Amino acid sequence: MEKLQRTALFSKHKELNAKNVGFCGWEMPVQYEGVIKEHDACRNAAALFDISHMGEFFYEGDIVNSGINNATTTDFVKLPVGKCKYGFLLNEQGGVIDDLIVYKLDDTHLMFVVNAARIDVDFKQIKSHIKSGTFQNRSNQTSKIDIQGPKSKEILQTLVSFDLNELKFFGFKQTTLLDTQAIVSRTGYTGELGYELYVDNDTAPILWDKLIELGAVPAGLGARDVLRLEKGYSLYGHELDEQTTPAEAGIDMFVQYKSHDFTGKEALLKQKEEGISKVIIPFTTNSKRAPRNGFDIYQNDKKIGIVTSGTYAPSVGSGIGLGFVDLKLYDENAQLELRTSRGSIPIYKATLPFLK
Amino acid sequence: MGSAHKKGEIKMKKYTNEHEWVELDGDTATIGLSAYAINELGDITFVELPQIGQEATKGESIAFIESVKAASDIYAPLSGEVVEINEGLENAPELLNEDAQGTWIIKIKVSDVGEFDTLLDENAYSTYTSSL
């Protein structure tokens, strides 16, 4: 087996007695003191996540003419400096190679933040669009720490020199944090008020300790997954993959069709005309039973789909899940059920987000 | 039946490789999940209990447990018949996180108390878990 990579915070996780798991080639903390406690810290106070496994690419050059603006569904020319945007890197068929956030640092600089498992594929794919300028993968030199929750602003405010109220949702600032260059971004994957912090690997452990000292509670990938699912956010490899378009995943609204061309656009427009054949539906169990990734979805005694994500949701008090259904077979009015090796679990169609 | 199994004495727990603990009182086995297992599962959210009267076969699934991020069968450590279930766990599965070693899940009237002696004692179980 390939050796798992470790983030700059690995020794910190060890000190905190984290339970680690292999995740996308990285040895990452899945939990410290317990998923529910960490989940609650994020919903009610402030939770701290090491997300350094994710990738960061930097482009410097002519954003208008170099070809980079055709790489993803986001129009970087239109994107204001100081703003970032969620979008997709697509293949020619409109399938999602990755979902990513792109930061407009200034008129000639961009930062791409991508999923850990897709770093190599994404880098190659984006690079193939670029005819001028420099494009660098600085994933191994960049640490990413997320602080999320209603108390995150007051905690972080003590460490930054500008007023955090200036940052609107999906706004960011290049600033200094603990005397080194950093990016503070008003974004996150939990649905709470929160910030994503990009710093160098030497600063990360110091920043991590400082934020804990100020009251943030370390939280693992287990809590992160529950938090994102309560808000209905997609996870690459679950709701998104190369065989799935943004429309099928139900997140077509993030695609900027009008202003620019991008790889996969024709396929998406064609699909808009012809219609989709599968779609993600959100559902609950209305019980403590949790749906799990891979459970079959049945209706009228026929398999119509498969669960892509599922968990028990503490904020909802029920099992919740997302899954694909085949639209040729799906009946909006008939009872849905999951079939598992242990029998059947009735499920009920819900609307997103699960946690309003 | 050995004298160690008489009523009123301090009951020694024995364990399985699947992390159930068992106490034997006469021919009634009280069964729970070890602190090690509960810690590995994390926050418990759901316990599916068998029916009273259901037959238990050593090594086969008799109940089912879920945590936020995982799910696991509970296997019958001994053969027999289910005579009691801890119904309180249906509404308060978190009791298992609070005290795994002190919270029983089911009781089985065992058909062969000799099976108890084949289980792991405290030391053997602790050696086993530290090898995992």
Enumerate the residues of chain B whose CB falls inside 8 A of the CB of residue A31.
42
Residues A319/A310, Cβ–Cβ less than 8 Å? yes
**A153 and A24 in one domain?**
yes
Q: How far is B50 from chain A (nearest CA, A)?
A: 13
The residue-averaged pLDDT of A245-256 equals: 97
Across the interface, of A31, A34, A289, the residue whose CB is closest to B46 is: A289
**Predicted local distance difference test score (pLDDT) of residue A1:** 54
**Predicted local distance difference test score (pLDDT) of residue B11:** 76
**A313 and A168 in one domain?**
no
**A130 and A148 in one domain?**
no
Q: Minimal CA–CA distance to A225: which of A39, A10, A90, A77?
A: A39
Q: Does B93 touch chain A (CB under 8 A)?
A: yes
Question: In CATH, what number is assigned to the domain containing residue B45?
Answer: 2.40.50.100
**Domain assignment of residue A247, yes or no:** no
Q: Does B66 touch chain A (CB under 8 A)?
A: yes
**Predicted local distance difference test score (pLDDT) of residue A224:** 98
The residue-averaged pLDDT of A95-102 equals: 98
Confidence of residue A218 (pLDDT cuts 50, 70, 90): very high
**Predicted local distance difference test score (pLDDT) of residue A292:** 96
Enumerate the residues of chain A whose CB falls inside 8 A of the CB of residue B45.
288, 290, 312
The 3 state secondary structure assigned to chain A is CCCCECCCCHHHHHHCCCEEEEECCEEEEEECCCHHHHHHHHHHCCEEEECCCCEEEEEECCCCCCCHHHCCCCCCCCCCCCEEEEEEEECCCCCEEEEEEEEEEECCEEEEEECHHHHHHHHHHHHCCCCCCEEEECHHHEEEEEEECCCHHHHHHCCCCCCHHHCCCCEEEEEEECCEEEEEECCCCCCCCEEEEEEECCHHHHHHHHHHHCCCEECCHHHHHHHHHHCCCCCECCCECCCCCCCCCCCHHHCCCCCCCCCCHHHHHHHHHHCCCEEEEEEECCCCCCCCCCCEEEECCEEEEEEEEEEEECCCCEEEEEEEEECCCCCCCCCEEEEECCEEEEEEECCCCCCC
The residue-averaged pLDDT of A59-73 equals: 98
Residues A353/A191, Cβ–Cβ less than 8 Å? yes
pLDDT in tens, A328-354: 999 999 999 999 988 899 999 999 999
Question: In CATH, what number is assigned to the domain containing residue A20?
Answer: 3.30.1360.120
**A161 and A283 in one domain?**
no
pLDDT in tens, A285-344: 999 999 999 999 999 999 999 999 999 999 999 999 999 999 999 999 999 999 998 889
What is the number of domains present in chain B?
1
What is the number of domains present in chain A?
3
**Domain assignment of residue A238, yes or no:** no
The 3 state secondary structure assigned to A336-351 is EEEEECCEEEEEEECC
The radius of gyration of chain A from alpha carbons, rounded to an integer in Å, stands at 21
* Mean confidence (pLDDT) of chain B: 92
**Predicted local distance difference test score (pLDDT) of residue A64:** 97
The residue-averaged pLDDT of A25-43 equals: 96
pLDDT in tens, B18-48: 999 999 999 999 999 999 999 999 999 999 9
**Predicted local distance difference test score (pLDDT) of residue B1:** 41
- Examine the pLDDT at A2 and tell me if it is beyond 90: no
Across the interface, of A222, A289, A342, the residue whose CB is closest to B68 is: A222
Confidence of residue B5 (pLDDT cuts 50, 70, 90): very low
Question: In CATH, what number is assigned to the domain containing residue A66?
Answer: 3.30.70.1400
Q: Which domain holds residue A161?
A: 10-49+144-230
**A171 and A131 in one domain?**
no
**A149 and A45 in one domain?**
yes
pLDDT in tens, A142-184: 999 999 999 999 999 999 999 999 999 999 999 999 999 999 9
Enumerate the residues of chain A whose CB falls inside 8 A of the CB of residue B36.
none
**Domain assignment of residue A90, yes or no:** yes
- Examine the pLDDT at B53 and tell me if it is beyond 90: yes
Question: In CATH, what number is assigned to the domain containing residue A288?
Answer: 2.40.30.110
- Examine the pLDDT at A3 and tell me if it is beyond 50: yes
Across the interface, of B48, B66, B69, the residue whose CB is closest to A222 is: B69
- What are the Cα distances from residue A331, in Å, to A249, A340, B94? 18, 21, 37
**A307 and A183 in one domain?**
no
Q: Which tokens in the block code for residue B51?
A: 């029916």
**Domain assignment of residue A241, yes or no:** no
Q: Which domain holds residue B93?
A: 3-130
**A181 and A34 in one domain?**
yes
Contacts of B12 (CB under 8 A, 6+ apart): B4, B23, B121, B122
**Predicted local distance difference test score (pLDDT) of residue A297:** 98
**A333 and A194 in one domain?**
no
**A135 and A60 in one domain?**
yes
**Predicted local distance difference test score (pLDDT) of residue B4:** 46
Residues A55/A116, Cβ–Cβ less than 8 Å? yes
Confidence of residue B10 (pLDDT cuts 50, 70, 90): low
Q: Does B45 touch chain A (CB under 8 A)?
A: yes
Q: How far is B66 from chain A (nearest CA, A)?
A: 8
**A158 and A99 in one domain?**
no
**Predicted local distance difference test score (pLDDT) of residue B2:** 44
Enumerate the residues of chain A whose CB falls inside 8 A of the CB of residue B67.
35, 312
**Predicted local distance difference test score (pLDDT) of residue B3:** 44
Q: What is the DSSP letter of B1?
A: -
Q: Which of A200, A230, A260 marks a domain boundary? A: A230
Q: Which of A82, A110, A139 marks a domain boundary? A: A139
The residue-averaged pLDDT of A45-72 equals: 98
Nearest chain A Cα to B64, which residue?
A: A342
Contacts of A232 (CB under 8 A, 6+ apart): A282, A322, A352, A353, A354
